[in-house]
Amino acid sequence: MRGESYALLPSGVLAFGKGVREQVIEERVKNWYLNVSSTAFFLILAGSQTAEIEGISSAGSTPVSRRYTAVADAELLLRGPLLPKRWPLPPLPAGVSPALISYVASRFLKIKPTVISAGLLQSPPFSHICLDSPQMGPARCLTSGNAMDISRVQLLFKGGFEIGKKLRQPLLIAECVPGGTTTAFAVLSGLGIKVNGLISGSSKNPPLELKNKLVNQGLKAAKLDKNPSSVDLMAAVGDPFQPVAVGLLMGASKSGQEILLGGGCQMLAVLALALNQIEPENRDEFVEKIVIGTTSWLVEESISCSKKRNSFIHLLNNVANHFKINILGLASGYRFNNSDQKVLRDYEIGYIKEGVGAGALSLLAQIKGLTEKEMIKYCDKEVINLLRSQDGKTI
């Protein structure tokens, strides 16, 4: 970086996206390096009955446990492993909640999230913003083709937009939405983007056939126009996270902020829904300050049913080609091969991969100088703390 006190891309960090110039990468990384401490960090928690379909998600081993995954993950991020919590982490097939990674990274960065809640069955036992009535509960299953009323989508979008347009600092958006990759699959498909075989999930082997079947059922039931609006599409087959995030993104863009979308397929869906609402001639300018931030585990994944390697990169490029724009993605370079904790090494064999902003927060921590060795050491320590807080029970 010619005399600057930081490296452009720390070891292992990957920049991806067709047509993205090195100068653009340099500008984005530099701006985040300089402004992390002033970041407005929002964590959006949401619920959908789609998550209760057997086998659809590993963000909780059972449909019942996935009802409280979002609030449990948020408690871990906010309070850390040792402090008492109202909601226990749901049992997982393998691995540990990505909120633990997010906690370590956010603590290093000294930033805490503002939580937005939409469509949970529980009232979160911590300070949060609720943009619609808590009594409304989760969205209906996307197979209905009527996941949310139009009025609810509009209310959630407006709430997010009003928050975003008032921001005067960089924005980081993260999420926890069990079943969210399936609703992302649905809205991206509804936009006419080729996504089959490219959508990941929390499972080691994402249930591609099941997701495809559910999405086709929902879109058929919705009877949407050939070129649906984003609001109609979210109402038909989406979840409450999407309109909040789209509104927040569009509001912050309007106020000229740097934006980091922390996640994978769900954040690409949010970006696509926003782009769908923008006139084609304005789309290039819209994405100029937007970065998708995720994990190396997601970016390096090659979904078993797909012949294409790096499925997420192909998905990102399909979205970019559809809207005729360039999208910049950055993946953190941390790996857990040398961790003492099996639940962390599970990430290296395909479990969990991403969630609760783990990729974006890790990326920012790496840009700000937290080494892989230090990250592993801190995460190993917090896994031990988590086990102690659970009286030695298996995570």
**Closest alpha carbon to 270 in 296, 299, 239:** 239
pLDDT at 392: 46
pLDDT at 1: 33
Determine which helix (DSSP H) or strand (DSSP E) holds 382, and give its type and residue range. Answer: helix 372-389
pLDDT at 202: 80
Helix axes 230-237, 150-165, angle to 10 degrees: 120
pLDDT at 307: 56
Instruction: Sort strands 14-16 and 328-331 into parallel, antiparallel or unpaired.
Output: antiparallel
Dump the DSSP string for 136-189.
Answer: G-SBPPGGGS-SS-HHHHHHHHHHHHHHHHT--S-EEEEEE-TTHHHHHHHHHH
Dump the DSSP string for 57-126.
Answer: --SSSSTTGGGSHHHHHHHHHHHTTTS--SSPPPP-SSS--HHHHHHHHHHHHT--PEEEEES-SS--SS
Give percent of the chain above pLDDT 90: 78
Instruction: Write out pLDDT tens, residues 335-356.
Output: 999 999 999 999 999 999 999 9
pLDDT at 308: 61
φ and ψ of 262, to 5 deg: -90, 95
Indicate the length of the chain as a whole number.
395
Structure tokens belonging to residue 19: 């047509």
φ and ψ of 390, to 5 deg: -100, 15
- The amino acid sitting at 171 is L
Please state which CATH class domain 14-389 belongs to.
alpha beta
Structure tokens belonging to residue 149: 């009323």
* Residue 336, C-beta contacts closer than 8 angstroms, at least 6 positions apart: 344, 345, 347, 348, 376, 379
**Maximum pairwise Cα distance, the chain:** 58
Single pTM value for the model: 0.94
| Average pLDDT of the chain to the nearest whole number | 92
Angle, alpha carbons 153-156-157 (nearest 5°): 85
pLDDT at 351: 92
Neighbours of 140 (CB within 10 A): 18
pLDDT at 304: 58
Neighbouring-strand partners of residue 45: 117, 176
Structure tokens belonging to residue 320: 């970019």
Neighbours of 279 (CB within 10 A): 7
Dump the DSSP string for 237-267.
Answer: H--THHHHHHHHHHHHHHTT--EEEESSHHH
pLDDT at 12: 85
pLDDT at 2: 34
Sites in the chain below the pLDDT cut of 50 = 1-7, 392, 394-395
3-state SS assignment for residue 360: helix
**CA 360 to CA 352: how far, in whole Å?**
15
Structure tokens belonging to residue 351: 């479990």
pLDDT at 296: 95
pLDDT at 6: 38
